C-alpha cells in the first residue's frame, strides 16, 4: 500500500504503485502515474501527463510536468516521461513537451539532476546523465548517455551533447558538443578528449588511444567534418566500435553547428 502523508494532496485519479511514498505537502495531479519504489519528497509538485518509473527519488520542492515556458503553447496534451532509478534533487524543474517539439520531454534512467537544475520542454536526456547544480537547459536539447554537465552552465536550445561528453562548470554552450569530448568556456570550446571520464567508465586503453586519434582527425586537422567522419569510419571504427557514436554524430544534421 502506498504511504501518503496526511498533508499531501493526491488526486484520486492518479495511478500510484503499491509501495510509492508521498511526502508532506506534496501535490500529485490526476494524470500522474508513478511506478513501484519511487519516493516523492516534501512539497514536490507533479502535474500534467507525467509517467515516472521505478525506484526514483524526488527531493523536496521539485516541480515536474508543469506546462512548458513557450509562448506558442496553447494547453495541448503533451507529456513528461521519467525512467527508473533517477535522483531529482531539491528545486529541480522539468517541464513537459510541446506539440511542435515532439510532445514529450524524456528523462532516461539512472540520471542525476542536482539542485536547482532546470530541464525545459522537449528535452531528451539519456541514461546515466549527470547535471550539476543550477544548470539551465533550454528547450529541444539532447543530452546523450553518460554525459556530465558542470554546475552553473547554460545550454542553448536545440543543442546536442554527445555520449560520454563533459561540459566544464560555468560554461555557455551554444553549439553541439560531440561524444567523448570536453568543452568549457563562454562560449564553450573543445578542450580535448574526455579521457579521464572514459577510463573511469572502463574503456580499454587502446580504445581511448583510438578515440584520441579520432578527436585529432575531426577537430585538429584541416579536414571537413564529413571527410573526418568518413576517415574515422574507414580507419578507426573497425578497431574501435565506440567510435560509431562520433561518426554518427558528425554525420547527423545540426541546427546549431558543432563546437570546435
Positions annotated as catalytic residues are 121-122, 139
Collect all residues with Cβ–Cβ distance below 8 Å to 150 and sequence separation of at least 6: 132, 135, 166, 167, 168, 169, 170, 171, 184
Q: How many CB atoms lie within 10 A of CB 226?
A: 10
Residue 15 pairs with which residues in a beta bridge?
33
Q: What is the CA radius of gyration of the chain?
A: 20
C-alpha pair distances (Å), 137 with each of 39, 43, 87, 160, 172: 25, 23, 17, 11, 10
Task: Give 18: exposed, middle or buried? Use CB within 10 Å, 0-12, 13-18, 19+.
Answer: exposed
Contact 40, 27 (CB under 8 A): no
Q: Which three cell numbers stand for residue 104?
A: 514529450
Q: Which three cell numbers stand for residue 132?
A: 550539476
Amino acid at each position: 500500500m502506498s504511504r501518503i502523508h496526511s498533508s499531501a494532496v493526491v488526486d484520486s485519479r492518479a495511478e500510484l504503485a503499491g509501495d510509492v511514498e508521498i511526502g508532506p505537502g506534496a501535490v500529485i495531479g490526476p494524470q500522474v502515474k508513478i511506478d513501484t519504489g519511487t519516493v516523492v519528497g516534501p512539497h514536490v509538485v507533479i502535474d500534467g501527463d507525467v509517467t515516472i518509473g521505478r525506484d526514483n527519488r524526488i527531493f523536496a520542492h521539485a516541480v515536474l510536468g508543469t506546462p512548458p515556458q513557450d509562448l506558442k503553447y496553447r494547453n495541448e496534451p503533451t507529456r513528461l516521461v521519467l525512467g527508473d532509478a533517477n535522483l531529482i534533487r531539491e528545486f529541480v524543474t522539468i517541464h513537459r513537451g510541446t506539440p511542435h517539439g515532439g510532445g514529450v520531454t524524456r528523462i532516461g534512467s539512472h540520471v542525476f539532476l542536482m539542485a536547482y537544475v532546470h530541464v525545459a520542454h522537449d528535452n531528451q536526456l539519456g541514461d546515466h546523465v549527470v547535471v550539476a547544480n543550477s544548470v539551465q537547459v533550454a528547450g529541444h536539447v539532447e543530452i546523450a548517455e553518460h554525459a556530465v554537465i558542470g554546475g552553473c552552465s547554460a545550454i542553448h536550445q536545440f543543442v546536442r551533447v554527445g555520449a560520454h561528453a563533459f561540459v566544464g562548470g560555468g560554461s555557455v554552450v551554444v553549439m553541439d558538443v560531440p561524444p567523448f569530448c570536453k568543452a568549457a568556456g563562454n562560449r564553450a570550446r573543445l578542450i580535448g578528449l574526455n579521457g579521464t571520464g572514459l577510463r573511469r567508465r572502463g574503456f580499454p586503453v587502446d580504445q581511448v588511444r583510438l578515440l584520441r586519434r579520432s578527436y585529432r582527425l575531426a577537430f585538429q586537422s584541416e579536414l571537413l567534418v564529413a571527410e573526418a567522419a568518413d576517415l574515422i569510419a574507414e580507419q578507426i571504427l573497425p578497431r574501435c566500435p565506440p567510435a560509431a557514436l562520433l561518426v554518427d554524430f558528425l554525420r547527423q544534421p545540426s541546427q546549431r553547428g558543432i563546437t570546435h
